[in-house]
Amino acid sequence: MNTIVINLAGILVIALIVWWFWMSRPPARRVSGGGPIEIIVNNGVYTPARIEVPAGQPVTLRFLRKYPSPCAEKALFDDLGVSADLPVGKPRDVTVMPPKSGEYESTCQMRLYRGMLVAC
Ligand SMILES: [Cu+2]
Residue-wise pLDDT for 1-22, tens only, equals 677 777 877 777 777 767 776 6
CA of 114 to the centre of ligand 1 (A): 9
CA of 72 to the centre of ligand 1 (A): 5
CA of 32 to the centre of ligand 1 (A): 29
The whole-model pTM stands at 0.75
Torsion angle in degrees (nearest 10) through CA of 17, 83, 61, 85:
80
Contact (CB, 8 A) for 120 and 113: no
CA of 113 to the centre of ligand 1 (A): 6
CA of 92 to the centre of ligand 1 (A): 17
- At 35, the pLDDT band (50, 70, 90 cuts) reads confident
Of 12, 21, 73, the C-alpha closest to 45 is 21
Walk across the sheet containing 50-53 and list its strands.
Answer: 29-30, 50-53, 114-119, 102-107, 74-77, 82-85
Residue 50, helix vs strand vs coil = strand
